[in-house]
Chains A and B, each alone.
Chain A
Amino acid sequence: KAGVTQTPRYLIKTRGQQVTLSCSPISGHRSVSWYQQTPGQGLQFLFEYFSETQRNKGNFPGRFSGRQFSNSRSEMNVSTLELGDSALYLCASSLTKVQPLHFGNGTRLTVT
């Protein structure tokens, strides 16, 4: 079975721009979560989707948004990028609500 796939692997954007990251979960997994990883703040939860509905949201500003499609693939969007948004963004999927999460390799976003 293929793992969680995130594209692109690397992104360089300029302050003020917006960016969309993509995640394909493991086949059959319906829950997709997003996390931000930085050296200073560690791993922080952004949001979680299940069957196209956002079920949980972390403590991030509204510039961070996401969605999930009917095939369970998910996208995350960040608008009006700030330097502090530079991070590794991780996507994870799970089979059901409280099953262990399987993580992708992440998208490394650099904001200049």
Chain B
Amino acid sequence: AQSVSQHNHHVILSEAASLELGCNYSYGGTVNLFWYVQYPGQHLQLLLKYFSGDPLVKGIKGFEAEFIKSKFSFNLRKPSVQWSDTAEYFCAVMGVDQGGKLIFGQGTELSVKP
């Protein structure tokens, strides 16, 4: 079955702390990988994507993610979070032959305390 699992439902950090959000997927085929972010009251925005090549990808606002194919993982990291990073984060996969069909994880709510 195709699925995406995010390890944490709710993460609470203080400003300047480091962040790592776990994401594992199950998919029988080649995938493209994404992290989306949803700030309070705003629409889903693309944070970063992996299609091929260097498994370490950099996104907006200092976020990065590493694709580890052998572990079916695509974890999101940020060395130092800010209060403005408070949002819900979604990991998603798309089969390369499945245009438009994203399979999302359940989301991780990140709360950053000033």
Contact = CB atoms under 8 A, between A and B. Distances in A.
B70 interface: no
B43 interface: yes
A100 B45 CA distance: 10
Contacts, number: 65
Contacts of A42: 104-107
A50 B104 contact: no
Interface residues of B, number: 24
A103 B43 contact: yes
Interface string A77-103: 000000000000010101011101111
Interface in A52-110: 55-56, 58, 90, 92, 94, 96-98, 100-106
Given A42-B106, A42-B107, A102 B100 contact: no
B49 A100 contact: yes
Q: Interface on chain B toward A: helix, strand, loop, or mixed SS?
A: loop
Interface stretch (B12-20, B74-82, B91-99): B91-99
Nearest to A41: B106
B102 interface: yes
Given A43-B104, A100-B49, A106 B43 contact: yes
Nearest to B46: A100
B9 to A, nearest CB: 11
15 contacts: A31-B100, A33-B102, A42-B107, A43-B104, A45-B101, A48-B99, A48-B101, A56-B99, A90-B44, A92-B100, A97-B99, A98-B32, A98-B51, A98-B99, A104-B43
Interface of B: 32, 34, 36, 42-46, 49, 51, 90, 92, 94, 96, 98-107
